[in-house]
Amino acid sequence: MSSLDLEARTSPNILEMGYDKRMMVVSGRASRDLGAKIAAKLGVGLTDAGLKTFTDGEVYCRYAESIRGADVFIINSIVGNEPEGVNVNDALMELLVMIDAAVGASAHRVIAVTPWYGYSRQDKKSAPREPITARLVAKMLETAGIDRLVAMDLHAGQMQGFFSKTLDHMTAMPILSQYVKDQLGPTEDLVIISPDAGRVKLTSKFAQKVGAPYAVLEKERPAQQVAEIGYVIGEVAGKRAVIVDDIIDTGGTLAAAAQTVLDEGAKEVYAVATHGIFSGRAYETLAASPLSGILVTDTVPLRAGAPDMIRQLTCADILADTVRSIFTDTSVSEIFAGENQLF
């Protein structure tokens, strides 16, 4: 008889004792508002991570209560947040130290929720001697000790292969497509525009959800954050066009795309994207563009001074459902009926 069998017979409560799982939701400073919304929808309070930045710029974390044995969900997009005084690199380091602190405090599982995965556009070598920084970030997160990662509308599907841990890929396309269908219809007046050939599959699914045809923009990119729009493949004349992408950053490419679509005869042009980064002079560029409206989600907090043309929807419902499914060990893909793989 093994020592385990003997111990079980003399102390039967060892095998009979129940175990109550415990969920804890933590938010970094880059996603404070989104984290609060997710926690509220889950019916739990946000756990205080004791985050602060020392005068020399170092990030500090200390959980205010015990997290031993809990499933800890750490919500933090890898992006800057001006009101909180953090930039994209602060957010990344903050995420890493929160993960390490949770592992060191004996959490049962540590799940990083990064709605916007920073550095995701550096997902391949486009020129000699460049890093693949998206892969580097994946290595850093796994080294810190995550058990799982949740991301939303990754820039490229190949990034899933950078992880040996489970990556749950969520998408905001259902809420975005429903809004377009409800607010910009009737659908026979709409055409959905792919900003380039790489987004055709996503655009096709979006158009199918809306019930409208789609067209494709041909473009070239001579340098980072610079794009030249060529022409439109498809019929847009007399239509209300909706350009669908995963990211809006400086806005220059989008403004040029909108003008190209109008030149091809469209009545109006709108833009839809999951991640509204709006860096640099994006607000000024987009406000001066021919776009009639822009729709994004709150994966990235809006900077102050956003023009009225920008509307933000929350993805808290989707992420709360995802967290709940992971915690209860039920199917995550069923949230989207298996349609969350868009690549």
Cα 44 → chain centroid? 22
Q: Is 219 a catalytic residue?
A: yes
Which amino acid is it at 213? P
Tokens of 105: 């405090």
Which amino acid is it at 326? I
Q: What is the C-alpha radius of gyration for the chain, rounded to an integer number of angstroms?
A: 22
Q: Where are the beta strands (DSSP E) in the chain?
A: 23-27, 46-47, 52-53, 59-60, 71-75, 109-114, 148-152, 166-170, 190-194, 214-223, 226-233, 240-248, 268-276, 293-297, 310-313
Active-site position among 41, 181, 209, 219: 219
Q: Sheet containing 71-75: which strands, arranged edge to edge?
A: 46-47, 23-27, 71-75, 109-114, 148-152, 166-170
User: How many angstroms separate the CA atoms of 37 and 239, rounded?
Assistant: 37
User: How many angstroms separate the CA atoms of 173 and 50, rounded?
Assistant: 34
Secondary structure (DSSP) of 85-137: TB-HHHHHHHHHHHHHHHHHTT-SEEEEEESS-TTTT--S-SSTT---HHHHH
Q: CB-based contacts of 329: which residues, under 8 Å, 6+ apart? A: none
Tell me which residues are annotated as active site: 219
